[in-house]
Structure 1
């Protein structure tokens, strides 16, 4: 698992469960080339623009946002 608190929108991730770090919305997926934004995303209410990893491996090795 990654040592980051969350992965930003657009990250390559493995299959797993995620929660929006801004609103808590839960999202489950198979491996994705690009993790989507939260379906409840609004610029004024989602400043972190990312997902907390609940299960799975999180960031892919070739993540475009490794830091």
Structure 2
């Protein structure tokens, strides 16, 4: 099952992601760890993750395999 939201630091496939808190889009071209949102502010960014717009989301080797998506 594909998650619709992955936390910062998750290894993901290439794709487009949207900040779960502010909507800023981020695109990566290869498998990489998702960074924090460039607009991160502790008082407004409470989900600390990205929504999957395109791509496969969490890689098979997910560094947070036991954390449910929020």
* Residues 4-53 of structure 1: per-residue CA shift (max 9 Å, x gap): 23000000000000000000001110224321000000111100000000
Structure 2: gaps (5+ residues): none
Equivalences, count: 66
Q: Distance in 2 between matches of 1:56 and 1:5?
A: 11
Structure 1 residue ranges (4+ consecutive) displaced by more than 2 angstroms after TM superposition: none
Matched with 2:64 is: 65
Give the TM-score, by structure 1 length: 0.89
Q: Distance in 2 between matches of 1:45 and 1:25?
A: 13
- 1:46 matched to 2:56? The reply is no
RMSD over aligned CA atoms reads 1.3
Q: Distance in 1 between matches of 2:21 and 2:31?
A: 21
Q: Distance in 2 between matches of 1:30 and 1:10?
A: 16
Structure 1: gaps (5+ residues): none
Give the TM-score, by structure 2 length: 0.86
